[in-house]
Amino acid sequence: MTTRRPEDDPGLDGRVAIVTGGGAADDGIGNGRAAALLLARAGTRVLVVDRKLALAERTVAMITADGGTAAAHEADVTDDAQCRDMVRAALDRFGRLDFLDNNVGIGSRGSVVDEEPAVWRRVMQVNVETMFLVSKHAIPAMIRTAGRGAIVTVSSISALRPRGLTAYSASKGAVIALTRAMAVDHGPQGIRVNCVAPGPVYTPMVYGPGMSDAARAQRRRASILGIEGTGWDIGHAVRFLLSDHARYITGHVLVVDGGVTLQSPARDDAAE
């Protein structure tokens, strides 16, 4: 069990979070699983949501083994009714809702000429509409049960530096715009909304389909630090933005990329 002190993560102990996309293959550490584990270590009770219940249950087992409190919930967050029921499940289980980590997303490749309309619509649905739907139900619950709240959305540096992933880049740019709009809309109600923009990070979603040693090395070299990002790096950023350490931060895009965006891009092969 990890020893923690309340002052390490002010405002997290005893709170309740929903983490969407909180599962991962096997014991791999994806962005959502890392955030769920780190929040639980800080004393937050976590509803881990995934389209595949077994993946969420594995995250919950890891949290429980680490001394935290969590529950698994299966939901397709492209569906409005399931998003509503997911929020209700968090309230029924834990009695309140304080935080939301909007972590669901899929990738795509190609220009507007190359991309199929059906793929474009699917990318926009999964990467943008899900964040609208989940937030639509989560924000009123936060206000009603906690009197305030914090949301983190997950975008990508592809929104800031497009590189041959046009539908993906456009969707992640929309996530940033949605983040800022929600921050303006709901700040007066005590809701902070921020965004994490990851660079290339080594997660099951990336290496699951197969990745050569050369491709992995290329991604590592894209960082001016010469190191590889992982799901833990994104999880720590999420935990910071949800905590009271970030109490005066809203509408912000936190780039977590090892300095990748400070250099000229290499197209496609090192895509995040």
**Alpha-carbon gap, residue 126 to 221, rounded angstroms:** 30
Residue of 168, 202, 207, 248 marked catalytic: 168
**Alpha-carbon gap, residue 156 to 172, rounded angstroms:** 6
Angle, CA 9 vertex, CA 4 and CA 11 arms, to 5°: 120
* Active-site residue flag, 168: yes
What is the torsion angle, in degrees rounded to the nearest 10, for the CA atoms of residue 233, residue 67, residue 244 and residue 236?
A: 0
Which amino acid appears at position 45 of this protein? Answer: R
Chain-centre distance for alpha carbon 129: 14
By CB atoms closer than 10 A (0-12, 13-18, 19+), residue 144 is exposed
CA distances, 227 to each of 144, 222, 257 (Å)? 43, 9, 10
Instruction: Please give the sequence-ordered ranges of beta strands (E in DSSP) within the chain, or none if there are none.
Output: 16-20, 45-50, 70-74, 99-102, 149-154, 191-198, 201-202, 229-230, 253-256
> What backbone phi and psi angles, to 5 degrees, belong to 152?
-120, 130
Which residues are catalytic, by number? 168
